[in-house]
Amino acid sequence: MEERTIRLDLCSSRKEKPKTQQLEFGRVFTDHMFIMDYSDELGWNDPRIVPYQPLSIDPSAMVFHYGQSVFEGLKAYLTPNGEAQLFRPEKNFHRLNRSNSRLCIPPIDEEFAIKAIQQLVALEKDWIPDAEGTSLYIRPFIISTEPYLGVAPSRHYKFIIILSPVGAYYKEGINPIKIAVENQYVRAVTGGTGEAKTGGNYASSLKAQESVAGKGFAQVLWLDGVERKYVEEVGSMNVFFKINGEVVTPALNGSILEGVTRNSVIQLLNHWNVPIVERKISMEEVYQAHQDGVLEEAFGAGTAAVVSPIGQLTWNDESLIINDAKTGNVAKKLYDTLTGIQYGRVDDPFNWVVKVEENCEMGLRASV
């Protein structure tokens, strides 16, 4: 049992914080960041909080060539009485280690990573914005840094956590968005990396996104890569359809990301006795449900946007208007409850919230 202390190197002057109404997503970063190194010889070592600064990385580092990288996304929220809290961070680090496994990256100590976030967020608490819908976005990521051009797992990595005060992900907020069903490009396929949160999945999605962005669509809806028939996910969110009183979401199949918000939505629906089923669902079935007048709601769910109602779904140049392009009752209740729990405004029956300790011990110790 080794004791691990986070070394501190604090910056001498603080940056100016952006005005709340000017907050975008992921453009401004706080004063400090967390870093930890990995080498085959030392394992994960030298955890430290240092001033936010550029990384100095060899041009032959594997991350630039062979894309061996993983990341997570979560948020810190300010409660009405000024406390900082996290939402289910253990789910993120559990998933990070699953992504690590798929990408041949050595696992991290999940408990230690959460403590590192606690300490970093406590230090940067002044950066958590307090306006409605704003939060401090937390981006843990791992990159491969061995200076070597062979195609093989790297023997050096960096695990980094950066923080960014953010406004709402969609400018539209909880207003319904327009989604285009993607027929040409494929995000992921079983046997690939679709259930891992790794850079390549996002790089491959850009082309489809670009092709519809000019037409007023916020995201694309991905179909499976084999039959091009079954719904997988929406852009960077999982997707749900309410059909004839029952909520349906695509079952996890190896090519769909296992979202933390997805899991929370399922638990809440079960808690409320709203029928929810995870199964294969084809685009044809969604289309038919709309034709039959029983497609009552559709919405995406993810950390960045929480819950995003889908007001219009365009497939092969035919546009389905869902719920009169208005936010549905289930989406609204999920959004209100999830954000209510996240911001500490309503009860937390599942113990999802993790408080950030005000006086987080600077000489943090964790077993490794």
Chain contacts with its own copies (rule: CB under 8 A)? 25-27, 29, 33, 52-60, 63-69, 71, 102-104, 137, 139, 141, 143, 147-153, 160, 162, 164, 184-193, 198-207, 209-210, 225-226, 228, 235-236
- Report the alpha-carbon distance of residue 10 to residue 23 in Å, rounded: 25
- In whole angstroms, the minimum distance from the beta carbon of 304 to its own copies comes to 9
- In whole angstroms, the minimum distance from the beta carbon of 66 to its own copies comes to 4
Question: How many other C-beta atoms lie within 10 A of the C-beta of residue 351?
Answer: 7
- In whole angstroms, the minimum distance from the beta carbon of 363 to its own copies comes to 25
- In whole angstroms, the minimum distance from the beta carbon of 235 to its own copies comes to 7
- The DSSP output letter for 346 is S
- In whole angstroms, the minimum distance from the beta carbon of 228 to its own copies comes to 8
Q: What is the amino acid identity at position 143? A: I
Of 116 and 269, which CB lies nearer to its own copies in the complex structure? Answer: 116
DSSP 181-205: E-SS-----TTSSTTS--HHHHHHH
Of 81 and 184, which CB lies nearer to its own copies in the complex structure? Answer: 184
Of 260 and 330, which CB lies nearer to its own copies in the complex structure? Answer: 260
Of 185 and 287, which CB lies nearer to its own copies in the complex structure? Answer: 185
Of 228 and 345, which CB lies nearer to its own copies in the complex structure? Answer: 228
- Are the C-beta atoms of residues 275 and 288 closer than 8 Å to each other? no
Of 205 and 249, which CB lies nearer to its own copies in the complex structure? Answer: 205
User: In terms of DSSP bridges, do strands 295-302 and 238-243 run parallel, antiparallel, or are they unpaired?
Assistant: antiparallel
Length reported for the chain: 368
Of 5 and 53, which CB lies nearer to its own copies in the complex structure? Answer: 53
Burial 45-54 (b: 16+ CB within 10 A, else e): eebbbeeeee
Of 54 and 293, which CB lies nearer to its own copies in the complex structure? Answer: 54
Structure tokens, 49: 């909080």
Of 310 and 330, which CB lies nearer to its own copies in the complex structure? Answer: 310
Q: Is 51 helix (H, G, I), strand (E, B) or coil?
A: strand
- Are the C-beta atoms of residues 110 and 99 closer than 8 Å to each other? no
Q: Degrees (nearest 5) of the Cα angle 12, 17, 23?
A: 150
Q: At what angle do helices 89-102 and 110-123 cross, to 10 degrees?
A: 130
- In whole angstroms, the minimum distance from the beta carbon of 268 to its own copies comes to 26
* Positive/negative CA dihedral, 216, 132, 324, 320: positive
- In whole angstroms, the minimum distance from the beta carbon of 136 to its own copies comes to 13
- In whole angstroms, the minimum distance from the beta carbon of 259 to its own copies comes to 15
- Are the C-beta atoms of residues 29 and 23 closer than 8 Å to each other? no
Residues 6 or more apart whose Cβ sits within 8 Å of residue 335: 174, 306, 307
- The DSSP output letter for 143 is E
- In whole angstroms, the minimum distance from the beta carbon of 132 to its own copies comes to 21
